């Protein structure tokens, strides 16, 4: 069965960076785009970007441009989200999610990781 | 960015009631609209994609309709396990954007 398993809780100081991993299993990792979505405490969902596990190509939401880097390590079926220059506003649960389409990116998110809480506090 | 306006923000209904949530896009998104269910402390779960297609394994009491800018999500007979927050999400234009959510509670 398809599973996305994320790395554990992180606590960071303002100005630091965080790297969250997302290990996929149960399907061919290179065939489906991986998206990252975050959710601040008590708030809604915010799309951050996607990575093409086959080519490594990426697309980022403009508000995260220059601060987020999405990468992948295809041999170990793992995607990564690296967010730099953290502030308290980045305190959130970060989710990875698989795109439903294997042909192209459509942003229909059919499988999700369990989420990783990132707390930014001095 | 396309704004997705969801209403109501919360509702309370009895078991067996028909529940309807609406989502309005700030511009035409054709049928590029998904609905997700999120229970507390859990990841969202895809219920409906392309406005009206039921995801595999999702109970048939859930349905969606609409196109263009106006969309509706319906639970035909509310069950206790449907207590959750529901989000719409458009992917007609980049960046994909979500509605603010509708929290569904049992009366």
Whether B18 has a pLDDT exceeding 90, the answer reads yes
Could you give the percent of chain B with pLDDT greater than 90?
Answer: 100
Whether A3 has a pLDDT exceeding 90, the answer reads yes
Note the pLDDT tens digit of each residue in A72-95.
999 999 999 999 999 999 999 999
Whether A103 has a pLDDT exceeding 90, the answer reads no
DSSP string, chain B: ---EEEE-SEEEE-TT--EEEEEEESS--TT-EEEEEE-TTS--EEEEETTTEEPTT--TTEEEEEETTEEEEEESS--GGG-EEEEEEE-SSSSPEE---EEEEE-
Per-residue confidence (pLDDT) for residue A48, from 0 to 100: 98
Cα–Cα nearest to B98, from B22, B30, B3: B3
Whether B19 has a pLDDT exceeding 90, the answer reads yes
Instruction: Name which of A47, A100, A113 is nearest B96 (Cβ-Cβ).
Output: A47
Per-residue confidence (pLDDT) for residue A104, from 0 to 100: 86
Per-residue confidence (pLDDT) for residue B93, from 0 to 100: 95
Three-state SS at A54: coil
Q: Are strands B4-7 and A109-112 parallel, antiparallel or unpaired?
A: unpaired
Instruction: Name which of A44, A108, A112 is nearest B100 (Cβ-Cβ).
Output: A44
Chain B residues lying within 8 Å of A100, measured CB to CB: 46, 49
Chain B CA closest to residue A60: B95
Per-residue confidence (pLDDT) for residue A102, from 0 to 100: 84
Note the pLDDT tens digit of each residue in B49-87.
999 999 999 999 999 999 999 999 999 999 999 999 999
Chain A CA closest to residue B56: A110
Q: What is the largest CA-CA distance in chain B?
A: 38
Per-residue confidence (pLDDT) for residue B51, from 0 to 100: 98
Task: State the DSSP code for A44.
Answer: -
Confidence of residue A105 (pLDDT cuts 50, 70, 90): confident
């Amino acid at each position: 069965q398809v599973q996305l398993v994320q790395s554990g809780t992180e606590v960071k100081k303002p100005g630091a960076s965080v790297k969250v991993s997302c290990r996929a299993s149960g399907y061919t990792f290179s065939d489906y785009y991986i998206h990252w979505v975050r959710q601040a405490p008590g708030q809604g969902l915010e799309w951050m970007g996607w990575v093409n596990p086959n080519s490594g190509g990426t697309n980022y939401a403009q508000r995260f441009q220059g601060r987020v880097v999405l990468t992948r390590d295809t041999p170990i079926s793992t995607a990564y989200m690296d967010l730099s220059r953290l502030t308290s506003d980045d305190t959130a649960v970060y989710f990875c999610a698989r795109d439903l389409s294997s042909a192209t990116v459509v942003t229909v998110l059919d499988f999700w990781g369990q989420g990783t809480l990132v707390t930014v506090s001095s | 960015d396309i704004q997705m306006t969801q209403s109501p923000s919360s509702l309370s209904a009895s078991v067996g009631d028909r529940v309807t949530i609406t989502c309005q896009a700030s511009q035409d998104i054709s049928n590029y609209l998904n609905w997700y269910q999120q229970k507390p402390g859990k990841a969202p779960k895809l219920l409906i994609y392309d406005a009206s297609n039921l995801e595999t394994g999702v109970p048939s009491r859930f349905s969606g309709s609409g196109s263009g800018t106006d969309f509706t999500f319906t639970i035909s007979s509310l069950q206790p396990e449907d207590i959750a927050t529901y989000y719409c999400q458009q992917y007609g234009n980049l960046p994909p954007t979500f509605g603010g959510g509708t929290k569904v509670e049992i009366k």
